[in-house]
């Protein structure tokens, strides 16, 4: 069993269920950026007025889709799958909070 590291990895991978109309959510593995409490609070404070594409690019650095993880493709994902932003945000926050609770 791995021991707790006081300096956690700067990234972590998690599957996000992207809602697909008329079908089950499609799992997409995102590489998320880890944040400590202060960094997360600052990021949350800066969300107001920010577009969702920029917000995703600030919390993630990649995904397991064949398409490149870039601003254009993130915008395409969020435009074509309306529930994607909420799914990405909720998964990111849940993972950070659970990690904090577990630790």
Q: Domain for residue 22, yes or no?
A: no
In a domain, 28, yes or no: no
pLDDT (tens digit per residue) in 6-53: 888 899 999 999 999 999 999 999 999 999 999 999 999 999 989 999
In a domain, 25, yes or no: no
Q: Is residue 15 part of a domain?
A: no
User: Residue 63: phi, psi to the nearest 5?
Assistant: -155, 170
Q: Give residue for tokens 């950070």.
A: 96
pTM: 0.89
Number of domains in the chain: 1
In a domain, 5, yes or no: no
| Collapsed DSSP state (helix, strand, coil) of residue 49 | coil
In a domain, 68, yes or no: yes
Establish if 91 belongs to a structural domain. Answer: yes
58 lies in a domain? yes
Per-residue pLDDT of 37-50, as tens digits, reads 999 999 999 999 89
């Amino acid at each position: 069993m791995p021991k707790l590291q006081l300096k956690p990895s700067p990234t972590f991978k998690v599957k996000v269920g992207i809602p697909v109309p008329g079908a089950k959510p499609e799992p997409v593995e995102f590489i998320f950026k880890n944040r400590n409490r202060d960094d997360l609070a600052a990021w949350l404070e800066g969300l107001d007025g920010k577009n969702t594409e920029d917000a995703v690019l600030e919390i993630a650095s990649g995904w397991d889709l064949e398409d490149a993880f870039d601003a254009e493709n993130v915008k395409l994902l969020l435009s074509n799958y309306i529930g994607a932003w909420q799914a990405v945000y909720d998964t990111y926050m849940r993972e950070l909070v659970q990690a904090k609770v577990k630790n």
